[in-house]
């Protein structure tokens, strides 16, 4: 189990001079942490830009500095090297690239000005574009994998369902914080324990990239509703799972405020499709 990755994720010094910001390093580290967390090997791609222009190169677009027969020939050779890795190991989970890169961009690339187009274009960089059948993910997307699972946890059935959803998320390489696993699973709580649980849950909410909320029932659990509101106020995406067929009104599946502050899905399959941009595995059709 492995991903092919832009080599600068592992060695930022390979990037052109002056373009790496502290925020970039944070993203690279988070990507590395996700792979370590789930035992995913990171296999670096060769860096065509470094091999062609050297490690001390200045930033530039593809058309400015790389649009030459010699560079195309170099990419031909490197493509064969990468294909040998794929033939030997099988397909990777994905290619992990860095947006804006002329060679390793995923959804955007500095290709260069041509026919009055801006230098930055939508699409893959010229090297990653040579592997069109392999899914590519940008570091910004890949780094968002911490999920806070907000849900009622007061009955055996509720706790079992929460564990089932958490397991499904973890199988798709998400790191899941589930309050019932952090000790919030008993009515026998003194004041100190209440403070501890609240503090731990709040810290997990603050660190989460995505909130998944279970909102089944005649009315959503009050604690879950609070967690959804907190997440929305802090601009965190909230995906609410409601398998309950009861409706709150003629045009509402659940409480209006919850529905308008989240994306409501009605099955775990729909949940995984909603999470697909952040998931290393593709959702089932």
Name residues whose C-beta falls within 8 Å of residue 234's C-beta, 6 or more positions apart in sequence.
205, 206
Q: Which of residues 142, 159, 193 is at a domain's end?
A: 142
User: How many structural domains is the chain composed of?
Assistant: 2
Q: What pLDDT, on the 0 to 100 scale, is given for residue 156?
A: 82
285 located within any domain: no
Question: Which CATH number does the domain housing residue 185 bear?
Answer: 3.40.50.450
User: How high is the pLDDT of residue 158?
Assistant: 87
- What mean pLDDT comes out for the span 65-90? 94
Q: Mean pLDDT over all residues of the chain?
A: 89
> Looking at the domain assignment, is residue 284 inside a domain?
no
Quick one: pLDDT band at residue 48, thresholds 50, 70, 90?
A: very high
Residues contacting residue 198 through CB under 8 Å, at least 6 positions apart: none
Neighbours of 177 (CB within 10 A): 20
- Containing structural domain, residue 263: 146-278
Are residue 265 and residue 138 in the same domain, yes or no? no
Q: pLDDT: is 283 or 198 the higher one?
A: 198
C-alpha span between 52 and 62 (Å, rounded): 12
pTM (2 d.p.): 0.84
Indicate whether 64 and 171 sit together in one domain: no
284 pLDDT more than 70: no
Digit-coded pLDDT (tens) for 226-267:
999 999 999 999 999 988 777 766 666 677 777 888 889 988
Same domain, 132 and 151: no
* Model confidence pLDDT, tens digit, residues 211-226: 999 988 777 888 899 9
Residue 153 has pLDDT above 90, yes or no: no
- My answer on whether 54 and 159 are in the same domain is no
- Per-residue model confidence as pLDDT tens digits over 119-129: 999 999 999 99
């Amino acid at each position: 189990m492995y991903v092919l990755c832009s080599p600068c994720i592992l060695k930022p010094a390979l990037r052109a001079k002056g373009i790496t910001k502290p925020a970039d390093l944070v993203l690279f580290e988070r990507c590395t942490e996700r792979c370590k967390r789930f035992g995913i090997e990171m296999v670096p791609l060769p860096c065509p830009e470094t091999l062609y222009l050297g490690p001390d190169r200045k930033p530039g677009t593809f058309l400015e500095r790389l649009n030459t027969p010699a560079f195309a020939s170099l990419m031909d050779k490197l493509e064969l090297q990468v294909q040998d890795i794929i033939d030997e190991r099988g397909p990777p989970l994905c290619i992990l690239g860095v947006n804006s890169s002329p060679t390793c961009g995923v959804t955007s690339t500095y290709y260069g000005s041509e026919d009055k187009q801006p230098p930055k274009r939508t699409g893959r960089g010229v090297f990653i574009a040579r592997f069109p059948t392999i899914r590519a993910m940008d570091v910004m997307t890949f780094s968002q994998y911490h999920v806070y699972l907000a849900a009622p946890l007061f009955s055996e059935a509720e706790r079992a369902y929460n564990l089932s959803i958490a397991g499904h998320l973890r199988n798709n390489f998400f790191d899941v914080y589930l309050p019932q696993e952090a000790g919030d699973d008993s009515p026998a709580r003194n004041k100190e324990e209440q403070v501890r649980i609240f503090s731990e849950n709040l810290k997990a909410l603050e660190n989460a990239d995505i909130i998944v909320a279970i909102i089944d029932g005649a009315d959503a659990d009050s604690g879950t509703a609070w967690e959804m509101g907190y997440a929305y106020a802090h601009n965190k995406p909230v995906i609410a799972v409601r398998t309950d067929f009861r409706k709150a009104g003629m045009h509402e599946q659940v409480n209006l405020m919850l529905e308008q502050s989240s994306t409501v899905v009605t099955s775990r399959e729909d949940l995984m499709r909603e999470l697909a941009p952040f998931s290393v595995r593709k959702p089932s059709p």
